[in-house]
Amino acid sequence: MALYRVKQFIWGFTSLFKKIDSTYLTKFLNEEEIKIFNTLKHNDKHHCIRVCKDSIKMRNDLDINVDMYKLGRAALLHDVGKSVKHLSLIEKSTLVLLDKFTKGKIKKYNNIKQVDVYYNHPKIGLDILKHNGFEHDKELLNIVRYHHSRIDKFDNDMLKIIKTCDDKN
């Protein structure tokens, strides 16, 4: 697990110097959705694109019957809740370490904006999408809201794919 966190930190740092691969954006998002996606911080955009690429690959490799367009769209928008407070790599790393060492007890300090976004970005993302005209897209809203929840609670292949790919990116 520690090696995985080091890898995530390196990805986050090196993403600062990489151009955004807009191929996936224009393939799965419309103009309004791209505007919402672009509210994310640069390294969060890279993360969402990696999740999207891995989700499409997993769908194809395992021949899972989910709509590729909807999967790509949900993967790209799953972390939109992080756009309300951009966390630096140091802040993210610190929160990850504090979460691990306190066994999640820092969650109670959600009056601190960084802690709130770290733990509650799925709910924040849900609210952002609802307020931007997505209130009728229940599947997208559920994926954004529950992508950090226990996977065994849901019978949704798209959510399972995105959660798996998010966890490894």
**What are the tens digits of pLDDT across the range 52-76?**
999 999 999 999 999 999 999 999 9
- The per-residue pLDDT for range 75-119, each reduced to its tens digit, is 999 999 999 998 888 888 888 888 888 998 999 998 999 999 999
Distance, first Cα to last Cα, the chain: 13
| Burial class (CB within 10 angstroms; exposed 0-12, middle 13-18, buried 19+) of 77 | buried
What is the distance of C-alpha 99 from the center of its chain? Answer: 18
Q: Would you say residue 152 lies in a domain?
A: yes
Tell me what the pLDDT averaged over the chain comes to.
89
Q: Which residues contact 34 (CB under 8 A, 6 or more apart)?
A: 25, 26
Q: Is the pLDDT of residue 4 over 60?
A: no
Handedness of CA 98, 165, 44, 154 (dihedral sign): negative
What is the pTM for the complete model shown? 0.88
Tokens read off for 167: 């966890």
Q: Would you say residue 15 lies in a domain?
A: no
Q: Would you say residue 155 lies in a domain?
A: yes
Number of domains in the chain: 1
C-alpha 127/C-alpha 43 separation (Å) is: 22
Tokens read off for 113: 């904006």
What domain range includes position 83? 2-8+21-167
Binned at pLDDT 50, 70 and 90, residue 6 comes out as low
Tokens read off for 131: 């307020």
Q: Would you say residue 14 lies in a domain?
A: no
CATH of the domain at 159: 1.10.3210.10
C-alpha 118/C-alpha 133 separation (Å) is: 24
